Amino acid sequence: MHEVIISEKPKSAEKIAKALSSKAKKKKYGKKINYWEFEEDGKRTTVLSAVGHLYSLTSATSRDRLGFDLTWVPAYEVEKNSGYVRDYVYAIKKLSRDADKFVHACDYDIEGTLIGYNALKYACGNNAEAKASRMKFSTLTKKDIVEAYNHMIDIDPHQVDSGIARHMLDYYFGMNISSALMKAVRSTSSSRISLSAGRVQTPTLSILVDREKEIEAFVPEPYWQIKAKSDFDIVANHVEDKIFDEERAKKIFDECQGADATVTDVNVKETVRKPPIPFNLGGLQSEAHTVFGFSPKRTQVAAQNLYVGGYTSYPRTSSQKLPESLGFKEIFAGLLNGLVIGALVAGIAMFYNFNPWFGLIAGLAMIFCKLSLILPAWIRICRRISASAGDALSAISSSDKIAPKIRSSRYLLGVSAPKSASRTVAFSSSAT
């Protein structure tokens, strides 16, 4: 029996093969394409990989690619920068010819589902997509991979349809509407300006234009605020707050000159502040830009690298739940190998029950100590603890030449922590 497993990226294929068998061996198709193979109990398993989307949409009837009758073709046939895809398509076609069983092991989201589905349907052929089973995992850890392999499910047709619909909408906007816009401009002028439309881009641009018009139409109105500062550094605002009448503001100000204030009431309010939660991708990108100045794309690539390496859960999701299979205690154990950070992590694990605030301290301390910036690091750490809910250390990628064992962050260590309470005291006063 021959089983073929399709993963989304080469690194994922390696992780899956090694998790499923200690006998997995790396082989080559041609000079560039790596794949993995092992045999156990009379069953030969080949783990192949895509490299993102192998297939793209194009018009089925028009040479200029415009129209609404679309079909899927290999990406290298219609995209200039996708020549590297050719070898992956050929490898899947050849190495899956005699397969009896197919397994879809791409990322469990809409895009990942569509990537694997198209590889099965068009590269493997022979109705492979209908016969395939689906591995569902949120981390590329051995425990999650083995669990997903032992409890496979069917491919979700709704995810497939959603992926196809998204790509078709992108095509209709990106190709058809963009072309129509440029033709409209050229028909009324000699300008050959390039215009583009997009499923997300165009509505977003409309929102920005509307907001800019509101800003331009806004007429500022001056106002005055009166504040009283006591000897105890308590600042009291006048009950009217913003006063739009200058004469009235001056009158109130003059009446308050030299007058004493009496505290007539004290209200104490207790609020509960929940511990920081794990990042979703948007929150991670925002925090990484604030703390490190990373672009959204750099953060996304870095987060994807950490996921493929088995250090974080799948990043391209709005979910903020972390699976137990990440192995938080094992992560701390790995961090203990660092000389400088070892004592910190030991204290964290013992006294703070994996509180993500201290994951923040450990992560930032380690990275900055590695960069020989110990003193400035601690200053920044203290500032971040008081000003933010967590750090964006997950945005550090392998390209930054930092050992994987130090990649801990709120994104990775966002487990439950004790709630804290704060008190707010409000004063009301009257001039005497």
Domains of the chain: 2-155 (3.40.50.140), 165-217 (no CATH), 224-266 (no CATH), 281-413 (1.10.290)
Q: Are residues 249 and 243 in contact, defined by beta-carbon separation less than 8 angstroms?
A: yes
Closest of 363, 140, 394, 393 to residue 354, by C-alpha: 363
Identified catalytic residue from 29, 314, 352, 411: 314
Report in angstroms the alpha-carbon separations of 373 from 159, 160, 359, 362: 47, 48, 19, 14
Mean of per-residue pLDDT scores for the chain: 78
The secondary structure element, H or E, covering residue 300 is helix 296-308
- The pLDDT, as a whole number, for residue 36 is 97
Active site (annotated) includes residue 314: yes
The rounded percent of the chain whose pLDDT value lies above 70 is 75
Mean pLDDT of 314-319: 76
Q: How far apart are CA 304 and CA 139, in angstroms?
A: 11
Q: Are residues 91 and 48 in contact, defined by beta-carbon separation less than 8 angstroms?
A: yes
pLDDT tens sequence across 327-376: 667 766 665 565 445 555 555 554 444 444 444 444 444 444 443 333 34
The secondary structure element, H or E, covering residue 223 is none
* pLDDT at 51 exceeding the cut of 80: yes
For 376, phi and psi rounded to 5 degrees? Answer: -60, -30
* pLDDT at 321 exceeding the cut of 80: no
- Residue 99 or 429, more confident: 99
Q: How far apart are CA 145 and CA 186, in angstroms?
A: 55
> In a 10 Å sphere around its CB, with 0-12 CB exposed, 13-18 middle and 19+ buried, how is residue 274 labelled?
exposed
- Residue 347 or 131, more confident: 131
* pLDDT at 381 exceeding the cut of 60: no
pLDDT tens sequence across 250-277: 999 998 888 877 777 788 888 888 877 7
